[in-house]
Structure 1
């Protein structure tokens, strides 16, 4: 009965909300995929539970002692002068207190030329945002359930406007060791602005994510399946480029089906040789693929690939993600082990 009630509750949450997910929130940089491993798997994978200290930024329940004294550094060039990245470090204080994790997430929007209302040049300006986080996870005694929380302080500067806020990520991870299946749920960016840009308080990009992954028994593959934006059912929109104009001039907008909208919540990923020194990764993000699809031209939007290479106490990660014909993204990451073994 409890499982049915939970299902109906989640369904009502999704059904009661409507509209699209973009352009409605502040601090949108919090949802950027900054880990090459994550990007290669399609993004928002919350079921990884190993020594990858980057995972703490996506699901705090994944923080564990295998991350002890590991430092991750990630960097990416989004478009033009926009750069972003993260740093994450975990430390195990003792066996009782377990492990804490600290992270930094930043984005720099580059330099802009300023103009007044008459089109005359003024001073140039920049924009940047940063979030500092601290995370901790707790394994419920005598169970395979892990709970975690990640507290974030956020500062944003856009031209002469500034904002300061805070957010909280909550995560749950269930590890079925017998079948090697992980189940997870996260609630991300629960928070508020303490100071606003111009007196108008804006909501943060809250998101609910669920996921499952499994490492196959006789094949060196771990697959990942993620459901994103569960707090909102309708994440589709009618693309005006795909509308049809009849002979009489009337316009028929694109119709997004129930099935098409459902697919936009799904992300698939697979990691080959997950426990070896060299890993290959592949992912597909349905929402990105559909939103950036070009009519009558195949550009493989939504597809991502990558690899990981471990050399002694260093692990190098790389990902390449397809967005549009005009621009794609590459992410580079390094994990350094300051402990005794890797």
Structure 2
């Protein structure tokens, strides 16, 4: 039964991607790009894209539904990100274990761009307006030997100054955990779906992406390394100024890769670092790169609570500060009541 569901979902992802014109398309005209921002401090601290670390943590289901595992049941995760110019993102999720149907996870993501001053074509002020995005997601995962598969269905909404767009997105992910070694491999088809309603005069596309990753910890070492490939179906990620100019092959490859590592200091503290080459090249200034593309973070576990902080550099002017709090609500409720 599980194999049939996964096979059907995979074929549906491919069909939706082809129908929306996203497969093998340019990296343009994509709507709902906010879903590609890191949802948790853990992901941000590893470079902004990671689909293999965080197995069994509820927040990880927002990056790869296959990372949702039974030990996440009863945990509530809340995440906050502050960007430049007052842009803020908040996410929250909760996982439930059902003995007869696997693990379920429900999450909400909200991105607030703040207030803007509006003007008409003549330059006269028209008052302030707001812009925001949000997503409501239900995810499910199931184990089969060393493999775990997951599905996630999201309702997406974007609005600005009274205009809006609505979409429906499907994620399908899988992870393989080596039975004898600390090694995890993952594959995710993200954001295959349809635009239900679009902005007036727009012809948007879903931000469909295929991501593959690998995480491993060498024997007798406290470090865990990860490498994640994204934008695998985009034919060109390098901007060229003149027609016929071809970017170096290595540059095209490395813009698709994100590198991360973390080290555990005992059982309560984890340090993280990451590098995102695409962010580095796209958002750095010509004369000063600043911290664009580099990430670092720390996580502290205390009893039933886990607090994490990460900083991901986007530009020389600043980056994103991420704070995540995870609580074992099931155990906490048992102690309180």
1:182 equivalent in structure 2: 184
- For the residues of structure 1 that align with 2:93 and 2:83, how far apart are their CA atoms? 20
With structure 2 as the length reference, what TM-score do the two structures score?
0.87
TM-score normalised by length of structure 1: 0.86
Separation of aligned partners in 2, 1:199 and 1:300 = 37
| Structure 1, gaps ≥5 residues long | 1-12, 241-250
**RMSD after superposition:** 2.2
Unpaired runs of 5+ in structure 2?
A: 1-17, 333-337
> Residues 289 and 315 of structure 2 are in contact (CA less than 8 Å); yes or no, is this contact kept in structure 1?
no
Pick from 94, 97, 104 the counterpart of residue 100 of structure 1: 104
**CA apart distance, 1:223:** 0.6
Q: Does 1:65 align with 2:70?
A: yes
2:94 counterpart SS class = strand
Q: Cα 1:165–1:275, aligned 2, differ >3 Å: closer, same or farther?
A: farther
Distance 2:96 2:198 in 1: 34
Q: Deviation string for 1:30-56 (max 9, x for gaps)?
A: 111121110000122111253321100
- Residue 107 (structure 1) shift: 0.5
Say how many residue pairs are matched.
Answer: 312
| Partner secondary structure for residue 315 of structure 2 | coil
Q: Report runs of 4+ in structure 1 exceeding 6 Å deviation.
A: 251-254
Match of 1:225 in 2: 227
Q: Does 1:120 align with 2:124?
A: yes
Counterpart of 2:282 in structure 1 is: 291
1:275-328 Cα distance to aligned partner (Å, 9 max, x none) = 721000000001111222333445232110000001111111100122222122
**Structure 1 counterpart of 2:318:** 327
Alignment partners' CA distance in 1, 2:113 and 2:290? 26
Question: Is 2:270 the partner of 1:279?
Answer: yes
- 1:236 counterpart residue number: 238
CA displacement at 1:73 relative to structure 2: 0.6
Shift of 1:171: 0.3
Cα separation, partners in 2 of 1:49 and 1:315, compared to 1, 3 Å = closer
Q: What SS is found at the alignment partner of 1:113?
A: strand
- Classify the secondary structure of the residue corresponding to 1:122: strand
**Structure 1 contact 50–66 (Cα < 8 Å) conserved:** no
